[in-house]
Chains A and B, each alone.
Chain A
Amino acid sequence: MRALKLFSSLAIVLFVTGCAVGNQYDYQSAQVSLPLVGNGDVGLGVIDNRSYVLNGDKAPNFIGLQRGGFNNPFDVTTASGKPLTEDMLDALTDALTNSGFGVKKLNISSSSPVVVASVVMKEGQEKNITLTVTDWKTDVFMKMTLHFDLLLQVFTKEGSVIASNQLRGKELIGGGAFESQNSRAAASAFETKIGRLFNSPNIIAALKE
């Protein structure tokens, strides 16, 4: 009877945690392609504005939840170990470089308009792009859902906003598969959402002017 209890406990622990513990997704592998070709240097900053990160509830490298057998959540983090915004910054830098731009990274610590404007005026280029991430997390159980709220803005050297585009929502992006498939699905969703943000007439015009 003791052996049965021990076996049951072990089975419960294995079942409840399963493959749900310690999952990591690789956003640096995202291959973002932008709907424009340009030239010249642009400043680029990605700002983490996620409430659950700002209030300390989650670490900056938190990117979602993987649920165990009883819907119990475990944190998913970036494969690089870096904050999500750094992975996004790297992927966006590659995308803009492939589109013909020279990229100068901007270190913006807050989404506060005053902070953003002062960093842009101090370290920015003639055109500056910021991506504010107010929500970005996946939630995986039997299906994979993405929660997102992204704001793309283009600033002048003087810190004025000349174009912006926002995407927010909650979407089914795949089945609750193995870690590697979920990682690819998350990176693919990032590729798509960033492409959509840039594919706005005012953003394209602002970057081509």
Chain B
Amino acid sequence: MKSIFRFFSIAIVLMLTSGCATSLVSDVDSQVDLDALQRFYVVKLSADNRGIQHLIVNKLNSMGKTAVAGTNPNPASPVDAVVTYEDKWMWDISMYMLELRIGIRDPETNYKFASGHSYRTSLVRKSPEEMVSEVLGKIFEDRPKGE
């Protein structure tokens, strides 16, 4: 009986803690100096009807960059980098952003030289603004050349 109780106790702890799983990672090419990039173009994800592209633009502008968003995969005027993103939402009493993945690409080759990803389950959910902020913060903090 004791062993069954111990098993269920461990199971409950694991189940509860898995409800508050988080992860925040980024990967930046060491040959790219992110500080040197000033002009950004954010490509709106076609499936996104929540306006995440505007949140990314706002955050980049607040960081002193110049960013605009659009639906066309290619920017109308020259930029230093193109920003793409993928968001995933879940329902738990209300809808929340489960994960956000942001990539920063070379406008000529589409090469993804920097990326970041945040994953937050229901109990540790954050607003989309905060998710955007922490992913971009992690990418620009993880900068081998501009440290």
Contact = CB atoms under 8 A, between A and B. Distances in A.
Interface string B75-109: 00000000000101000000000110100011011
A144 B112 CA distance: 21
Contacts of A54: none
B140 interface: no
Contact of B111 (A4, A144, A181, A199): A199
Contacts of A195: 29, 111-113
Contacts of B113: 35, 195, 199
A55 B98 CA distance: 39
A36 B111 CA distance: 8
Interface in A67-100: 69, 98-99
Contacts of A34: 109, 111
A58 B88 CA distance: 32
B119 A177 contact: yes
Main SS of chain A's interface residues?
mixed
B112 A177 contact: no
Contacts of A142: 17-18, 21
A57 B109 CA distance: 39
A37 interface: yes
Interface string A33-66: 1111100000000000000000000000000000
10 tightest Cβ-Cβ pairs between the two chains A and B? A175-B23, A35-B111, A33-B110, A175-B119, A175-B21, A33-B111, A174-B23, A192-B27, A35-B109, A8-B4
Interface of B: 4, 7-8, 11, 14, 17-18, 21-23, 25, 27, 29, 31, 86, 88, 98-99, 101, 105-106, 108-113, 115, 117, 119, 121
Interface of A: 4, 8, 11-12, 15, 33-37, 69, 98-99, 142-144, 171-177, 181, 184-185, 188-189, 191-192, 195-196, 199
Given A11-B8, A185-B117, 20 more contacts: A8-B7, A33-B110, A33-B111, A36-B109, A173-B25, A174-B119, A175-B21, A175-B23, A177-B119, A181-B88, A181-B98, A184-B86, A184-B101, A188-B101, A188-B115, A188-B117, A189-B27, A195-B111, A195-B113, A199-B31
